[in-house]
Amino acid sequence: MNRLPDEYIVPLDRLIQNAIHWLVDEWRPLFQALRWPIARVLDGVSDGFEFLPFWVVILAFLALGWLIVNFRTGLLASGSFAAIAFLGLWDEAMISLSILVTAVVFCVLIGVPLGILSGRSDRFWAVLRPVLDIMQTTPSFVYLVPVVMLFGIGTVPGVIATIVFSMPPIIRLTNLGLRQVPADAVEAGEAFGATEWQALMRIRLPLALPSVMAGLNQTLLMAMVMSVIIAMIGAEGLGLTVLRGIGSLDVGLAGIGGIAIVLMAITLDRITQGLGQPGRIPADTSSSLWRRLRLRWHS
């Protein structure tokens, strides 16, 4: 065969395997500590959805879609979850929703501060950007290998893989939003005595909010994709329904699982898109803040 002799082949696979084993042996307490808060949040969210009757959740999504976007979106949201209930996949859908909520919460808690640091420091962004490039170009299935080795199998390791896979968009778009804030707005605020922290919280972040919300939307959709794939490592939810259908060649089971996933994805996409609409951002945190600062500056 037309290939290099074996003695010239770099044994990278063995090096990676040995490195993972070393991490597992030496840093197991750290990985268990990282797993603990995610497991607690997931358990709390799951218990909440399990406690609520299905009709309460459906009405809650009706109100959520109505208040955030419009009444038609509220009907779409409630109708989608009602359809999932009639498909007999309510419990699985609530598990998937719990995974999504938990993953997005941790993505926001970690990703937004990293995006803020990136937007405020070119040096930090220069270091973080190639890491995000690698994360976004790595196939989703590849994330499952180190997660299984470091955290085991099950729903909680699946949530960890979902968090890592879904985080880049919210970091990138938070950084982008902060860099696009008009310099005049910040200078006007500082001229009136705003500290760096006040300028960040009251001027930069409010003006960057549409971009941050777009990052939240993209993070949620990526988490939706990953929540299906993590069924391969034992995570429960709608993804496991699809996987069981494929494994048993039950096209009907896989089909209704896919339909439920699509309905949930469309609903959550519409609602999170509504959060980024200019009219949904309070006046004090919109571009009118910049205009008022400019008026005060010229007066």
What string of H, E and C letters represents the secondary structure of the chain?
A: CCCCCHHHCCCHHHHHHHHHHHHHHHCHHHHHHHHHHHHHHHHHHHHHHHHCCHHHHHHHHHHHHHHHCCHHHHHHHHHHHHHHHHCCCHHHHHHHHHHHHHHHHHHHHHHHHHHHHHHHCHHHHHHHHHHHHHHHHCCHHHHHHHHHHHHCCCHHHHHHHHHHHHCHHHHHHHHHHHHCCCHHHHHHHHHCCCCHHHHHHHHHHHHHHHHHHHHHHHHHHHHHHHHHHHHHHCCCCHHHHHHHHHHCCCHHHHHHHHHHHHHHHHHHHHHHHHHCCHHHCCHHHCCHHHHHHHHHHHC
Whether 234 is covered by a domain: the verdict is yes
**Separation of alpha carbons 139 and 158, rounded Å:** 15
What is the distance between the alpha carbons of residues 236 and 91, in angstroms, rounded to a whole number?
10
Q: Containing domain of residue 65, as a range?
A: 13-298
Rg (the chain; Cα; Å): 23
Report the sign of the C-alpha dihedral through residues 78, 227, 113, 45, in that order.
positive
CATH assignment at residue 116? 1.10.3720.10
- pLDDT tens per residue, range 115-154: 999 998 999 999 999 999 998 888 888 888 888 888 888 9
Q: What is the pTM of this model?
A: 0.86
**pLDDT band for position 196 (cuts 50, 70, 90):** confident
Q: Please indicate, yes or no, if residue 258 is contained in any of the structural domains.
A: yes
As a whole number of angstroms, the distance between CA 180 and CA 293 comes to 17
pLDDT for 18: 85
pLDDT band at 289 (very low <50, low <70, confident <90, very high): very low
- Tell me the per-residue pLDDT of 16-63, one tens digit each, with 9 for 90 and over: 888 888 888 888 888 888 889 999 999 999 999 989 999 999 999 999
Would you state the structure tokens that stand for residue 169, as one six-digit string?
């968009």
Q: Tell me the pLDDT band of 260, cut-offs 50, 70 and 90.
A: very high
1: in domain? no
Query: What is the distance between the alpha carbons of residues 132 and 199, in angstroms, rounded to a whole number?
Result: 27
More confident residue, 113 or 183: 113
Q: Judge whether 250 lies within some domain.
A: yes
CA 269 – CA 263 distance, rounded (Å): 10
Query: Does residue 8 lie within any of the structural domains?
Result: no
Whether the pLDDT of residue 288 is over 50: the answer is: no
The predicted structure's pLDDT at residue 283 = 41
Predicted confidence (pLDDT) per residue in 211-228, tens digit:
999 999 999 999 999 988
Phi, psi of 66 (to 5 degrees): -65, -45
What's the pLDDT at 278? 57
Task: Report how many domains make up the chain.
Answer: 1
Contact 119, 177 (CB under 8 A): yes
Residue 5, domain member (yes or no): no
What is the mean predicted confidence (pLDDT) over 6-23? 81
Q: What's residue 105's pLDDT?
A: 95
pLDDT at 157: 92
Q: Note whether residue 96 is domain-resident.
A: yes
Query: Residue 149, exposed/middle/buried by CB under 10 A (0-12, 13-18, 19+)?
Result: middle
- Is 4 inside a domain boundary? no
